[in-house]
Amino acid sequence: MAIRPILTAPDPRLKAVSTPVESVDAGTRKLIDDMVDSMYAADGIGLAAVQIGVAQRVIVMDLDQRDGKKNPRHFINPVITWRSEELATFEEGCLSVPEIWDEVERAARIKASYLDREGARHELEADGLLATCLQHEMDHLEGVLFIDHLSKLKRSMALKKLQKAKRLKETG
């Protein structure tokens, strides 16, 4: 297992549309293990493979991190099969857009289908943080960041803040 660096905006690799996993194999499980390690190391609650530069339709998530307990979930080739008309607003962050948090409106409830790390198909119904986080991570699979849901002004302010932080990091 390995901690892999997480790409940050405006890295063009974050704009890639991820391709489906053709067969769930040992390579997929190694990718998942690396993603889980990288997510925990960065204090995240979710991660899409494209955020570590692998444009495959794989997501990991752990929304139950309490008292050091770990309960990682894995979603391979996830598809949203139903979205509620009702919307919900959550304050979102992103490991690829560090230190920026803002409210995003998304479907309040969704149904999704996905494969687990053994290749078995599952269906789930989600609301609350799970619905928000799944929609956020599935946006990554299409090359979309949560700041793309903000107004043009807010997005350009966020990108300027990121670029300034990157410059400061490079020059020390």
Q: Is residue 134 within the footprint of ligand K1U (CB under 6 A)?
A: no
Task: Kindly report whether the peptide bond that precedes residue 78 is cis, defined as omega within 30 degrees of 0.
Answer: no
- Please report where in the chains the tokens 């063009």 appear, as a residue: 12
Q: Least distance to ligand K1U from the beta carbon of 95, Å?
A: 3
Q: Least distance to Zn ion from the beta carbon of 125, Å?
A: 22
**103 included as an active-site residue:** no
**Tokens representing residue 9 in the block:** 């905006």
- Could you say which of Zn ion, ligand K1U, none residue 123 binds, taking C-beta under 5 to 8 angstroms by partner kind? none
Interaction residues for ligand K1U, span 65-94 (CB under 6 A): 90, 92-94
Q: Is residue 133 within the footprint of ligand K1U (CB under 6 A)?
A: yes
How many Cβ atoms are within 10 Å of 21's Cβ, its own excluded?
18
Residue-wise DSSP of 95-152: TTSTT--EEEEEESEEEEEEE-TTS-EEEEEEEHHHHHHHHHHHHHHTT--GGGGS-H
* Residue from 4, 18, 34, 46 in contact with ligand K1U (CB under 6 A): 46
- Residues near ligand K1U (CB under 6 A), total: 15
**Tokens representing residue 132 in the block:** 């928000």
**Residues of this chain that bind ligand K1U (CB under 6 A):** 43-47, 90, 92-96, 132-133, 136-137
Active site residues: 137
